[in-house]
């Protein structure tokens, strides 16, 4: 018996050993695959490092979390965020690579809660053909020719409506005024709502509740902001749906050649999206177009209040435009005037660079990806931190300094490689197939608002307030300012 056993073992020993070796080698190999995962720590189970990642910080910095992680691990590191293994990238080259390979190697992937509140057909959530169709509609709506022939006037109208309501020597919250402006503009552009009507005011109120839910933890429990926001979402959707029904009746009454200049009319006429899809599209455009550009305007007001030289140069630029229009008897701004606002464009770029309205994007890897020695496994979340390069001293000299003049060095002079620096590192509107479709409108809004602001008013901050990244950018006190009328023109 005993002998037999020994024999058996001796017999099988070589194959057992071989199996063992094989298993070890296999493990080795897997480890070798994972050896070049970016460095980093996965933190606590499930929560990972999410809480530290989301801790608010000054919007003109990359925050303590990012700083300490980059110092320890480099610009690309692994972590566990929003409940998933994640690669965080503060590397502009990798970020561009990620955004440009949308749909091939990477795909837009926002947390489930975003889809819950913005809707499963929201443009931020859809991918593939559905995304392409919706993007076409929004591109159509924000085309250069519409900006020139239609939106510019509308932007100026809405700007004047807000600025003229300011009383001399009064103090108010600049952020609220900027929100009023961008909301009225989007409501008009999307559904032809007039700013003075009661329904617009009511929609605005619902929208505020809705927004609070978008940015709060997704806890669907009684009394939470998220639950209230879901309720607001359905109220808003009912409102939009009512508008849609009215519009359909009107379209039928007026026959096939009904011309409507808003997104609702266009989507009804030229697309075969379902009602549910149009509702989500409209809600997501209202969201994308209103929150971001109002923060950008508040940031410009904030940065300019600390740079009298920039305000001075802006005033000269806009006074020149205004005087020349007066000579010609022109009462409204047009596209030629907009093209003359050169220094203003530098101020806008500098505001977006330093303020970073959108700080990082949500993607996931569709395949195992290798990039410059880093390995990103399929299925992992990937967060391109587009703000990192904007605040990197190796890319922008003295990055925490508001210096619009830095943008003037790029105009073909031999001063340096500013122009490649910009195309390679400056990405306030994202990039690739999901590049913001509203970027030109956003700049137009900022420029026209700044035009009338510097010509009509002087302003100063009241008390101290500054922008924080929550990570959505916000002034906790609403940016209180005191204004004084100017009589320049």
Ligand X SMILES: *[C@@H]1O[C@H](CO)[C@@H](O)[C@H](O)[C@H]1NC(C)=O
Residues that bind ligand HEM (CB under 6 A): 108, 123, 135, 138, 285, 288-289, 292-293, 296, 357-358, 361, 428-430, 434, 436-438, 441-442
Residue among 275 and 458 whose Cβ is closer to ligand X: 275
Q: DSSP label at 304? A: H
Compute the distance between CA of residue 250 and CA of residue 252 in angstroms, rounded to an integer: 5
Q: Which does 225 bind (CB under 5 to 8 A by kind): ligand HEM, ligand X, none?
A: none
Q: DSSP label at 40? A: B
Site residues for ligand X, 152-181, by CB under 6 A, read 153-154, 157
CA dist 317 to 328, 331, 343, 450, Å?
Answer: 17, 17, 7, 11
Q: DSSP label at 52? A: H
Contact between 334 and ligand X per CB under 6 A: no
Residue among 184 and 346 whose Cβ is closer to ligand X: 346
Residue whose structure tokens are 């929004």: 138
Residue among 153 and 228 whose Cβ is closer to ligand X: 153
Q: Which does 440 bind (CB under 5 to 8 A by kind): ligand HEM, ligand X, none?
A: none
Three-state DSSP string of 189-219? HHHCCCCCCHHHHHHHHHHHHHHHHHCCCCC
Compute the distance between CA of residue 312 and CA of residue 319 in angstroms, rounded to an integer: 10
Residue among 245 and 332 whose Cβ is closer to ligand X: 332
Stretch that binds ligand X, among 177-185, 199-207, 300-308, 402-410 (CB under 6 A): 402-410
Determine the Cα angle at 476 with ends 472 and 479, to 5°. 105
The residues pairing with 345 across neighbouring beta strands, listed in sequence order, are none
Residue among 175 and 351 whose Cβ is closer to ligand X: 351
Q: How far is the CB of 103 from ligand HEM (least distance, A)?
A: 11
Residue among 108 and 211 whose Cβ is closer to ligand HEM: 108
Contact between 411 and ligand X per CB under 6 A: yes
* HSE of 205, CA atoms in CB hemisphere, 13 A: 7
Stretch that binds ligand X, among 308-316, 322-330, 414-422, 472-480 (CB under 6 A): 414-422
Number of shown-chain residues binding ligand X (CB under 6 A): 18
E strand or H helix at 13, and its extent?
Answer: helix 2-35
Three-state DSSP string of 390-427? HCCCCCCCCCCCCCHHHHHHHCCCCCCCHHHHHHHHCC
Binding mask 259-288 for ligand X (x = CB under 6 A): ------------xx----------------
The residues pairing with 363 across neighbouring beta strands, listed in sequence order, are 108, 382
Binding mask 420-449 for ligand X (x = CB under 6 A): --x---x-----------------------
């Amino acid at each position: 018996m005993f002998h037999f056993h020994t024999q058996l073992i001796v017999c099988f020993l070589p194959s057992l050993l071989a199996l063992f070796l094989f298993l070890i080698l296999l493990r080795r190999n897997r480890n070798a695959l994972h050896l070049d995962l970016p460095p980093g720590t996965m933190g606590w189970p499930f929560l990972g490092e999410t809480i530290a990642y989301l801790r608010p910080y000054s919007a003109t910095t990359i925050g303590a979390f990012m700083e300490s992680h980059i110092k320890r691990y480099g610009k690309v590191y692994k972590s566990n965020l929003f409940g998933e293994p994640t690669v965080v990238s503060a590397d502009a080259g990798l970020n561009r690579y990620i955004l440009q390979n949308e749909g091939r190697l990477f795909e837009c992937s926002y947390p489930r809660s975003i889809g819950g509140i913005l809707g499963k057909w929201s443009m931020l959530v859809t991918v593939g053909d559905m995304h392409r169709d919706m993007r076409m509609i929004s591109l159509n709506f924000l085309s250069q020719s519409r900006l020139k022939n239609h939106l510019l006037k509308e932007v100026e109208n809405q700007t004047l409506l807000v600025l003229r309501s300011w009383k001399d020597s009064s103090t108010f919250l600049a952020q609220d005024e900027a929100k009023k402006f961008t909301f009225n503009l989007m409501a008009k552009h999307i559904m032809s709502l007039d700013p003075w009507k009661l329904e617009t005011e009511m929609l605005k109120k619902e929208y505020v509740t809705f927004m609070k839910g978008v940015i709060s933890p997704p806890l669907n429990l009684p009394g939470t902001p998220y639950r209230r926001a879901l309720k607001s979402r359905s109220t808003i959707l009912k409102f939009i749906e009512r508008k849609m029904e009215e519009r359909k009746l009107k379209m039928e009454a007026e026959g096939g050649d009904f011309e409507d200049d808003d997104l609702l009319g266009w989507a009804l006429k030229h697309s075969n999206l379902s009602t549910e899809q149009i509702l989500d599209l409209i809600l997501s455009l209202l969201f994308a177009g209103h929150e971001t550009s109002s923060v950008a305007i508040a940031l410009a007001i904030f940065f300019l209040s600390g740079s009298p030289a920039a305000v001075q140069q802006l005033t000269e630029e806009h006074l020149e435009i205004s005087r020349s229009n007066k000579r010609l008897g022109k009462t409204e701004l047009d596209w030629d005037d907009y093209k003359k606002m050169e220094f203003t464009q530098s101020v806008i770029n500098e505001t977006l660079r330093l303020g970073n309205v959108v700080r990082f994007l949500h993607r996931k890897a569709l395949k195992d990806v290798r990039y410059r020695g880093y390995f990103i496994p399929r299925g992992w979340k990937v967060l391109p931190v587009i703000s990192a390069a904007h605040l990197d001293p190796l890319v922008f000299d003295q990055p925490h300094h508001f210096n619009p003049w830095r943008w003037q060095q790029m105009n073909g002079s031999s001063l340096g490689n500013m122009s490649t620096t910009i195309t390679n590192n400056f990405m306030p509107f994202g990039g690739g197939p999901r590049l913001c479709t509203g970027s030109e409108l956003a700049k137009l809004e900022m420029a026209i608002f700044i035009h009338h602001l510097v010509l009509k008013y002087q302003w100063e901050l009241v008390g101290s307030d500054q922008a924080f990244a929550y990570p959505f950018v916000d002034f906790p006190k609403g940016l209180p300012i005191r204004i004084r009328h100017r009589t320049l023109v």
